[in-house]
Amino acid sequence: MHPMSAIPMQHLLQHAEPLAAISIAYLRPATRQRLADDELSVLAYPNDYGGFVYVGPAGENAPSEPELIPLFTAARAGGIVWLKFDADAETVEGFATFPDQEMPS
């Protein structure tokens, strides 16, 4: 067996896109459902635990879901291209979280 050359790995790394895994608690229950139904206003790939949401550059992918706006702003400032919303992921300080069920008005 030949040792793997560093060159293919370097070529692959040129195509890497940074991802941050965060709690799905940052999404309102209605937005969680929209993600699960693949109906978000932005490009997303749902899975059984949440989903992957494409942030991309400013102006290219503007979310209409209000709770995504500050998350996208922070992600873009940090060079994050993808947000992975996951039921098992940690919360990070500085963003609003939402309970599993919305309270009736």
Domain boundaries, given as residue ranges, for the chain: 17-86
Q: What is the pLDDT of residue 78?
A: 95
pLDDT tens digits, 22-38: 999 999 999 999 999 99
| 31 residue type, one letter | T
Provide mean pLDDT across the span 2-21: 79
Residue 105 has pLDDT above 60, yes or no: no
User: Phi and psi of 17, rounded to 5°?
Assistant: -125, 125
Q: Reply yes or no on whether the pLDDT at 49 is more than 90.
A: yes
Residue 9 near residue 15 (C-beta atoms within 8 A): no
Q: What local confidence, expressed as pLDDT, does residue 57 receive?
A: 86
The per-residue pLDDT for 1 is 47
